[in-house]
A and B are shown apart, each in its own frame.
Chain A
Amino acid sequence: MNDEFKTYLESIDLTKVMIERIANICDFYQDVLTAKKDNIKDIFISEFIDNEGNRIYEDLWLFSDNYFLVSANFIGEDNFNIAYSFRTLKNLKIDKINYDFVKANDNSRLYIMYKKEYGFQGTLKASKENCNHLMEIFKKCLLPNLI
């Protein structure tokens, strides 16, 4: 895993224990992508803050030029979902709380809901400083693939 990814993961309070797990998942996905002559370019952890103020990490998203690579509930499960990304998003909806798309604070929350063909849909969730990262992902990886 590259240093940029590590820095990002540390910025959302993950320690070496979880980073190692994520690195293993990244290694698997990169092996798959190599066969397709593609590479992982970006990473995002979908997470939210629960009622007790704890950060709950849900899904690991990786992005290459041509694919979305997702491990849903990556802490509790071993599952790997690879989907072609190029212009496959039918709809993107943004909800935000205490966030101006530029500077996040501890109370900032950002939710981006996506819809793909054949009814596939989901939500990428971000809290605090992760909102800034999700906005970058939105611009680089999601918006260009909107039909």
Chain B
Amino acid sequence: MKPSFEEYAMWLENEHHISLDQTIENNYKSASLLVREQLMESAFWTIISRDIKIMDEEYLLKTKGYNLFKEMMPPKIFIKPFDSFLLKTYRKNILNNDNFPNPPPDGWILPNNWFSRVNDIIRTSFVVKYLDGVEFLEDKIKSYCAECDLASGSDWEAREEGYYAVHINIRNNYEIPGIKWDTEVVDVSFEIQITTQLQDVIKNLMHKYYEKNRETIKSENIKWQWNYKSDEFATNYLGHILHYVEGMIMEIREKK
């Protein structure tokens, strides 16, 4: 039987001799702060920040008068809070691990590798005004990755829960303190999310709901698509409806 999230700490202790104490959390916080600092000083982020207006003008010309961005400032780079990070390791190790009690296909996610294995410890989000801006910006960011010799990969997310965004993961080596406070060079992913204005609104509204939803093991007998009284029904379909509306906005814009 799979342990609950409340039992996860005990499971780590019993199965992997890992004590989820303050040392682990402090190490996570220090390491993630250092990664963010190095990223913000990197050539890649410097170029992207500098070229926000250039990208907007290229899109403005391409679309004959529509801005790419709502705001002409580089977005903030966020660090995943430790609790959310731990929840993600729980989901990968336990909740969504079909092999449990054996390791997931790529192995357990533990302190000695979790900085490399969790993709969105350091992340940012670009919000574009129109649906076609997503692909436009994805192409631009990938070209900057190539210019800076960085490996990148994209996922075009279209989730059942009504979440639509592109996630670009950009990998680079960063110097971080190890668990024993020695310095390690670790391959860490920086996640850039690209989403539209309407999806951004709903993402912020639903974020807390998504996080809560992800803690629990779902019963296979309940299909939210039929349970119109559930929170999932309203929130998930709202995400889909908004995506559809954005498609309609594009149709109208292109006919003008």
Contact = CB atoms under 8 A, between A and B. Distances in A.
- State yes or no: do A and B come from one complex: yes
Interface of A: 13-18, 21, 52, 54, 73, 75-77
Given A13-B53, A15-B53, A16-B54, A75 B61 contact: yes
B53 A21 contact: no
Interface of B: 53-54, 57-58, 60-61, 64-65, 67, 70-72
A21 B61 contact: yes
A6 to B, nearest CB: 15
Contacts of B67: 54
B64 A17 contact: no
A15 B72 contact: no
In terms of DSSP, what is the predominant structure of the interface of chain A?
loop
Contacts of A17: 54, 57-58, 61
Contacts of B65: 73, 75-76
Name the residue among A17, A75, A77 with the largest chain B CB count within 10 angstroms: A17
Given A14-B57, A17-B58, 18 more contacts: A15-B53, A15-B57, A16-B54, A17-B54, A17-B57, A17-B61, A18-B61, A21-B61, A52-B70, A52-B71, A54-B67, A54-B70, A73-B65, A75-B64, A75-B65, A76-B64, A76-B65, A77-B64
Contacts of B60: 18, 75
Contact of A54 (B54, B57, B58, B72): B72
19 contacts: A13-B53, A14-B57, A15-B53, A15-B54, A15-B57, A16-B54, A17-B54, A17-B58, A17-B61, A21-B61, A52-B71, A54-B67, A54-B70, A54-B72, A73-B65, A75-B60, A75-B65, A76-B64, A77-B64
Contacts of B58: 17
Nearest to A18: B57
Contacts of B72: 54
B124 to A, nearest CB: 20
Name the residue among A13, A73, A75 with the largest chain B CB count within 10 angstroms: A75
Contacts of A16: 54
Contacts of A77: 64
Contacts of B61: 17-18, 21, 75
A21 B62 CA distance: 12
